[in-house]
Amino acid sequence: MAPLRRDRPGRGSKPMKLLRLLCIFVLMGSFAGSAWAEGAEKRIALVIGIGAYQSAPELPNPPRDARAVAQALRGAGFQVEEVIDPGNRSFATALRGFGIRAAQADVAVIFYAGHGMQVGGQNYLIPADAKLERERDLVYEALPINIMMGELAQVRKLGVLMLDACRNNPFVDRLARTAGRRASATSPRAWGASTTRRAIR
């Protein structure tokens, strides 16, 4: 995953760069198989932006970026569900509902902006109500990225996952203090991503 700059207010170009990547992948999927009639495919999107963390400083950019991406996707013919500052349960419910809808869609997109981190090679997305007082709390309070990928894989033709996670993650320092010194392969670390993953069925 390629590193991103730290979250800063006043930067407006990031959503547009991500959307340009999305357009490229949608076009690639359109030409990958038999030609689709223009406008015939069903396109859905789940857009998540988390900035109002209850146990960490607020992030100004993710909700703003999410709204900008959601607006642009609607303009491109996507049926968009926009979720701002979800807690763990709301996050999981939105993902489950998206997976059900994706099974009947030709193109499906997930955009996530907020905190993310990696422990032991596993990537996690952090809901707004996460406290993460110890490393094992990730199992109960965070969502493994594999869950998101699994729901996205239900789509008929093309699935795109866009991650925009902040590198300055206060949860990482907290978990590192409680876990003590560990090998770098398993120690918590933040990851920033400006990446697009696709899955074509």
Model-level pTM?
A: 0.76
Q: Is the pLDDT of residue 138 over 50?
A: yes
Residue in 40, 39, 60, 41 with CA at minimum distance from that of residue 49: 60
- Stretch 40-44: mean pLDDT: 90
Calpha distance 23→158 (Å, rounded)? 12
Angle between helices 145-152 and 88-102 (to 10 degrees): 20
Look at residue 140 in the predicted model and tell me its pLDDT.
Answer: 93
Q: What integer pLDDT is reported at residue 122 of this predicted model?
A: 86
The CA distance from 105 to 94, in Å, is: 16
Q: What end-to-end distance do the CA atoms of the chain give, in Å?
A: 23
Q: How many residues does the chain have?
A: 201
Q: Determine the Cα–Cα distance for residues 120 and 111; give it in Å rounded to an integer.
A: 24
pLDDT band at 188 (very low <50, low <70, confident <90, very high): low
User: What one-character DSSP code corresponds to residue 34?
Assistant: S
Ordered structural domains, the chain, with CATH = 15-29+42-200 (3.40.50.1460)
Tokens linked to 52: 């109002």
Average pLDDT over residues 189-197: 52
Q: Which of 9, 11, 17 is nearest to 111 (CA)?
A: 17
CA distances from 63 to 50, 100, 184, 189 (A): 6, 25, 32, 23
Position with higher pLDDT, 36 vs 103: 103
pLDDT on residue 26: 54
pLDDT at 3 over 50: no
The pLDDT of residue 25 is above 50: yes
